[in-house]
Amino acid sequence: MNRKIIFSLIGAIFMLLLSIIDFVSFGLTITTVSTIAIFILFSYDLYKAWKLKEDKSK
């Protein structure tokens, strides 16, 4: 479970950085939108893994 949380956290941070760099360099393009969408997916996966870990500890 910890591996999934770490993987999702690294992925979310990486996608956030890429989307910021992409937005600053190229403006709002389809690449920026897709990078933001992948960031949202990683963040949601992180939330689900964190919530599952929290529920198991109860």
Query: Which amino acid makes up residue 30?
Result: I
**Ranges of each domain in the chain:** 2-57
Q: What is the pLDDT of residues 4-43, one digit of tens each?
A: 888 888 988 999 999 999 889 988 898 889 989 999 999 9
- Under a CB-based contact definition with an 8 Å cutoff, are residues 18 and 31 in contact? no
Helices (H), the chain: 2-26, 30-57
pLDDT at 55: 85
Q: How far is CA 40 from CA 9, 12, 45, in A?
A: 11, 8, 9
Whether the predicted pLDDT of 1 surpasses 70: no
Considering only residues 16 and 57, tell me which one the structure prediction assigns the higher pLDDT.
Answer: 16
CB neighbour list of residue 23: distance below 8 Å, 6 or more residues apart: 32
